[in-house]
């Protein structure tokens, strides 16, 4: 089907597309159901000389109260869903949730995706931010992906293309869009896999706010390891030491059960979140001489 410009909505509210439930509207908004829709939408934005931004599950974003300029493309592509039992790979469109990859791997008895159980969001967002938990990141299982490069070319790239590092990839610097991705797993024991997934989900429930509470996961990246240590220092520990728990600015609060979560108590503005984050960064810098860096992404108009 040719690209239908009439499906673009003007001044579209975005806050309910985010887990923080904060933020203003998109100037223009389009829901992409296929990879071709994404290609067409990007070409449309380029032809009108307006910026474009791809949103997945909205679980790692703080969208400005003034909204996002240009075209927001919502990645709803779910038409590819393939298992290769010989090679133990799973290929999915990136509009699928990360949890669908975990479920499919569990169903097939493939091991490797268990640490990602309970992480919200789409596969596209997971690749962009190299999402992970329990010492594993999506880069550990990504084999290759189909990508729309910022120059308009669609091609298959292998994982090296992404230049992955802790909670980061080239996608945070360049506006390429991942369309589908193939993950390489290993044959495992289905019962053991299911048990691990259940345990991880149960542990996460005790630490993380439930879906009814607006937040975007860990707000800050963990800190680099201390000299002689190999593991990163939890940002939450340092935040707890400066007395962050319970601190607030407007409607944005530090979660009482985990100091590295900023939550929306209902009426928080994006500016409240940013102001609270700034206070926390300054306090940690004063107390510990280290600079916290946001894991969440601020997007939209901030001046």
Closest CA to 75 of 36, 120, 22: 36
| Part in contact with ligand FAD (CB under 6 A); list of ranges 115-123, 194-202, 219-227, 238-246 | 115-123
- Is 167 assigned a catalytic role? yes
Across the chain, the runs of DSSP E, i.e. the strands, are: 9-13, 25-32, 52-55, 61-63, 68-75, 81-84, 89-93, 110-111, 132-133, 136-137, 142-148, 154-158, 177-184, 186-187, 214-218, 248-249, 252-254, 261-264, 297-299
At 5, list the tokens: 């410009």
In the complex, minimum distance from the CB of residue 227 to ligand FAD, in angstroms, rounded to a whole number: 26
Q: Report the C-alpha gap between 242 and 72 in whole angstroms.
A: 38
Q: Contact with ligand FAD (CB under 6 A): which of 159, 208, 258, 274? A: 208
Integer Cα distance of 71 and 13 in angstroms = 12
Q: Does 214 bind ligand FAD (CB under 6 A)?
A: no
Stretch that binds ligand FAD, among 7-15, 125-133, 188-196, 273-281 (CB under 6 A): 125-133
**Considering the complex, what minimum distance in angstroms separates the CB of residue 20 from ligand FAD?**
8
Q: Choose which of 68, 92, 119, 242 interacts with ligand FAD (CB under 6 A).
A: 119
Of 47-55, 149-157, 250-258, 265-273, the window that binds ligand FAD (rule: CB under 6 A) is 47-55
* 295 given a catalytic annotation: yes
Q: How far apart are CA 185 and CA 26, in angstroms?
A: 38
Residues 173-192 interacting with ligand FAD (rule: CB under 6 A): 177-178
Identified catalytic residue from 64, 167, 168, 180: 167
262 binds ligand FAD (CB under 6 A): no
**Cβ distance to ligand FAD smaller for residue 128 or 280:** 128
Question: Which tokens go with 123?
Answer: 């596969």
Check binding of 129 to ligand FAD (CB under 6 A): yes
Give the separation between CA 294 and CA 172, rounded to whole angstroms: 13
Q: Does 300 bind ligand FAD (CB under 6 A)?
A: no
Residue closer to ligand FAD by CB (options 122, 139) is 122
DSSP for 64-96, written as a single string: -TT-EEEEEEEE-----EEEETTTTEEEEETTS
CA pseudo-torsion sign 136, 140, 141, 145: positive
Taking CB under 6 A as the rule, which mask of x and - marks residues 143-172 in contact with ligand FAD? ----------------------------x-
Reply yes or no on whether 218 is catalytic. Answer: yes
Counting contacts by CB under 6 A, is residue 59 touching ligand FAD?
A: yes
Identify the residue among 61, 113, 252, 270 touching ligand FAD (CB under 6 A): 61
Number of neighbours of residue 267 by Cβ within 10 angstroms: 10
**Distance of alpha carbon 17 from alpha carbon 48, whole angstroms:** 25
Question: Residue 39: exposed, middle, or buried by beta-carbon count in 10 A (0-12, 13-18, 19+)?
Answer: middle
**By CB under 6 A, residue 54 contacts ligand FAD:** yes
Question: Catalytic positions, please?
Answer: 167, 218, 295
- Interacting residues toward ligand FAD by CB under 6 A: 19, 53-61, 75, 94, 119-122, 124-126, 128-129, 131-133, 171, 177-178, 208, 215-217, 297
């Amino acid at each position: 089907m040719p690209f239908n410009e009439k499906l673009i909505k003007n001044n579209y509210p975005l806050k309910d597309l985010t887990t923080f439930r904060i933020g203003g509207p998109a100037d223009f908004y389009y829901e992409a159901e296929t990879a071709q829709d994404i290609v067409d939408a990007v070409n449309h934005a380029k032809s009108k000389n307006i910026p474009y931004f791809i949103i997945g599950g909205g679980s790692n974003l703080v969208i400005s109260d003034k909204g996002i300029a240009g075209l927001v493309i919502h990645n709803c592509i779910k038409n590819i869903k393939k298992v290769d039992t010989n090679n133990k790979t799973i290929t999915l469109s990136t509009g699928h949730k990360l949890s669908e990859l975990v479920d499919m791997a569990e169903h097939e008895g493939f091991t490797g995706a268990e640490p990602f159980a309970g992480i919200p969001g789409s596969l596209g967002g997971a690749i962009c931010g190299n999402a992970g938990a329990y010492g594993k990141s999506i880069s550990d299982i990504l084999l290759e992906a189909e990508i729309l490069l910022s120059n308009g070319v669609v091609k298959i790239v292998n994982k090296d293309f992404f230049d992955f590092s802790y909670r980061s990839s080239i996608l945070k610097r360049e506006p390429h869009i991942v369309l589908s991705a193939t993950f390489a797993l290993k044959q495992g024991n289905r019962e053991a896999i299911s048990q691990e997934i259940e345990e991880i989900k149960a542990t996460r429930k005790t630490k993380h706010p439930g879906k009814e509470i607006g937040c975007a996961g860990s707000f800050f990246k963990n800190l680099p390891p201390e000299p002689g240590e190999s593991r990163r220092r939890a940002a939450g520990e340092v935040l707890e030491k400066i007395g962050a728990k319970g601190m607030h600015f407007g409607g944005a609060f530090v979660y009482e059960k985990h100091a590295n979560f900023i939550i929306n108590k209902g009426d928080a503005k994006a500016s409240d979140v940013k102001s609270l984050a700034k206070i926390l960064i300054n306090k940690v810098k004063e107390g510990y001489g280290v600079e916290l860096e946001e894991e969440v992404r601020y997007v939209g108009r901030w001046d």
